[in-house]
A = this chain, B = another copy of it.
Amino acid sequence: MKSKAVFYHAGCPVCVAAEQQVAAALDTSRYDVEIVHLGESKARIGEAERAGVKSVPALVIDDSAFHINHGADLAALKS
């Protein structure tokens, strides 16, 4: 069974770079990679927070949150 990897972003330039170079480099034969734009899918901000995401871009793999550089704080996406 594949592991789950969720890449959370908000469309910012830092996010786009991380998506194109890190999220895209994951092994899709071992990981189901889902890309979530939290600016467009605000309903999923809570899920990201519960996974430990503080800022975007972030990658959640097997329930661990990995913040990749810094684009925007999650709090800024709520307004």
Which residues of A does B touch, CB under 8 Å? Answer: 3, 5, 17-18, 21-22, 25-31, 59, 61-62, 64, 66-69
Contacts and interface: CB of A to CB of B under 8 A. Distances in A.
A18 B66 CA distance: 7
A28 B26 CA distance: 9
A18 B30 CA distance: 17
Nearest to A28: B27
B27 A59 contact: no
Q: Which of A28, A59, A66, A67 counts the most chain B CB atoms within 10 A?
A: A66
Nearest to A62: B21
Contacts of A31: 25
Contacts of A3: 25
